[in-house]
Structure 1
Amino acid sequence: MTSPVSTSATPAQAIVIMGVSGSGKTETSLGVARRLGFRHIEADHFHSAENVVRMQAGTPLTDTDRIEWLDRLRLEMQKAVQDGTGFVLSCSALRRSYRDRLRDAVPGLRFAHLSVDYETALQRVGERADHYMPTSLVKSQFDTLESPKGEPGVLWVDASKACEAVVEEVCAWMHAPIPSSEMAALIGLASKMPDAPSPRKEPPLTSEPIYNNRMAQRFDTLTDSLMAVLMAFMVGAVFVNVVLRYAFGSGWAGAEELSRLAFVWLIFVGVASSMRRGELMCFTLIRDKFPRIAHRLIDSVSALLIATGSGLSAWGAWYQMQFGWQNASPVVGYPLAIAMLPVLVSMIALAMLALVQLINTWRTERAVPPALANVTAD
């Protein structure tokens, strides 16, 4: 007589509703989250603007495109765990490597695979409106899908059934205590996962960069190099001046004057660099309180105000430079116009970037906000 399989004390608290586009992930995950009282996480909302543009153009995402997206999802899941709340993640998780990457973040993570045939998925995606997922990408979803059969903690659900029946089946599975053997397999799987290096360690940007291309890379290289040189000069000048004061009893007053000049250059070069990267003058907290239809108008007004203010500042800097050529600094004797040159260049750059931002506001599509998403397009 075999002994019964021991179970964990509590039912599962974390689940991913997975499947190809058109399988009903969003509707099912919302229903499961409501029934269980869990937090709902929609993977669509964590795609970068570049990924959205690619999908709108009918271009399938690559593994490289999905790495940062998966890492954002990992962080969001871990936040829910830290808050002590269960969560339901709606995510395609087509490849085994994607699922393992998610499991590595939350040991014991379960998956409910919504299985659907190609014709049904194609029909459902075609009937969806106001979403960036075209029907042309449905085939690529089936081509990418790696079956989760045989993986621990996976429920296989026939997604052709009514949504209520699918939600009921998933909730019943979640309410059932987790067998300890299954939990051990899940945790063991996560512990064997290699530590995959994250491609980026920087904190998230305030908003998406204004533009991304080879010119942007050159612009960033130029501004970053200038800031590094200016910072090194300031540190070196101050250090040498301190050594001179303590070693010889007197420093060089010109070091302080040149350090102030370098500081002015550093500030305005950094302003132009931050604007391009989307880390400057972002008012989404206020904008998002308005109806979605007004977002583009608010963004346009913001860009116009930035362009106008920057243009006026550049105009004033130009006049100051004309007077500055006739006046010299008291110690080193450089023309004071040099101190206004970074202001002029930086404000011209800001005005041009604001105009590019204005054009992008009306040229590119916005990512669908949480309240309007109706299909997972990853």
Structure 2
Amino acid sequence: MNLLSSVRRLSKPILVIVMGVSGSGKTTLAKLLSERLSFRYVEADDFHSDQAKQKMAAGIPLTDQDRLPWITCMCDFLNEQFQQQQSCVLSYSGLRAKHREAFRALPFDTLFVFLHGKQEIILQRMQQRQGHYMPATLLQSQFDSLESPQGEQNVVAIDLDASKDIILDNTEKQIAGWLLSLQ
């Protein structure tokens, strides 16, 4: 099935949210999906305040109170995209169930792609990346904050213990099945 042709048959914009803890590969996957689907790529980190980024860089985890303005900014931006009939792929941690509900309340048809895997694998990835404000020392706090979306509506789980190509192929198959359900 050609994903792009399936998307073109839809009557309204869709939102694919690639989610998981820091270091799970959500940015890489979201960028690849946005290119394949011809959707706008949206990076949640771009909506963090300087204060929030400084807090995380200092090794201090964000609280739900810290995250609220961030969620509001993203939802406002995505509403604008919907008004412009623009489908999007959002790279976003999605740690808290109540925050995911804010995205479900948007007018898009929304699918969450949950990247999950062993903490040791993700820690290795985080230790290898450079230039990111989120230190590997905060990974445990990400896992502690994560409320698993498995069992929630419109969520597909993708095991990240595979090559980038296999992860992309598995994700595309899941999206294709979801798109069929919308037609």
TM-score, length of structure 2 as denominator length:
0.89
* Correspondences of 1:339-378 after superposition (within 5 Å): none
Task: Verify: 1:127 aligned to 2:128, yes or no.
Answer: yes
Task: Verify: 1:16 aligned to 2:5, yes or no.
Answer: no
Q: Any idea what SS the aligned residue of 1:73 has? A: helix
Task: Give the superposition deviation at 1:139.
Answer: 0.2
Task: Give the superposition deviation at 1:127.
Answer: 0.7
CA separation in 2, counterparts of 1:58 and 1:75? Answer: 28
- 1:51 maps to amino acid: A
CA separation in 1, counterparts of 2:104 and 2:19? Answer: 13
* Correspondences of 1:1-378 after superposition (within 5 Å): 10=10, 13-176=14-177, 177-179=179-181
CA separation in 1, counterparts of 2:143 and 2:47? Answer: 22
CA separation in 2, counterparts of 1:104 and 1:13? Answer: 13
Contact in 2 for aligned 1:55/1:133 (Cα 8 Å): yes
CA separation in 2, counterparts of 1:171 and 1:87? Answer: 15
Contact in 2 for aligned 1:55/1:134 (Cα 8 Å): yes
Contact in 2 for aligned 1:13/1:87 (Cα 8 Å): yes
CA separation in 1, counterparts of 2:136 and 2:49? Answer: 20
- 2:76 maps to amino acid: L
Q: Any idea what SS the aligned residue of 1:10 has? A: coil
CA separation in 1, counterparts of 2:104 and 2:180? Answer: 16
- 1:99 maps to amino acid: R
Q: Any idea what SS the aligned residue of 1:105 has? A: coil
Contact in 1 for aligned 2:18/2:29 (Cα 8 Å): yes
Change in Cα spacing, 1:110 to 1:101, as seen in structure 2 (3 Å) is same
Task: Give the superposition deviation at 1:107.
Answer: 4.4
Can you list the C-alpha shifts for 1:317-356, whole angstroms capped at 9, x where unaligned? xxxxxxxxxxxxxxxxxxxxxxxxxxxxxxxxxxxxxxxx
Higher alpha-carbon Rg: 1
Equivalent position of 2:3 in the other structure: none
User: Which structure shows the bigger proportion of residues in strand conformation?
Assistant: 2
Equivalent position of 1:260 in the other structure: none
Contact in 2 for aligned 1:17/1:29 (Cα 8 Å): yes
CA separation in 2, counterparts of 1:141 and 1:123? Answer: 15
* Structure number with higher relative contact order (C-alpha < 8 Å, ≥ 6 residues apart): 2
Contact in 2 for aligned 1:17/1:112 (Cα 8 Å): yes
- 2:181 maps to amino acid: P
Equivalent position of 1:254 in the other structure: none
Task: Give the superposition deviation at 1:149.
Answer: 1.2
- 2:82 maps to amino acid: V
Task: Give the superposition deviation at 1:71.
Answer: 0.7
What is the aligned-residue RMSD (CA, Å)?
1.8
TM-score, length of structure 1 as denominator length:
0.44
- 2:24 maps to amino acid: S
Contact in 2 for aligned 1:41/1:88 (Cα 8 Å): yes
- 2:34 maps to amino acid: A
- 1:46 maps to amino acid: F
Structure 2 runs not aligned, ≥5 long: 1-8
Percent identity, aligned pairs only? Answer: 36
Task: Give the superposition deviation at 1:178.
Answer: 4.4
Task: Give the superposition deviation at 1:171.
Answer: 2.1
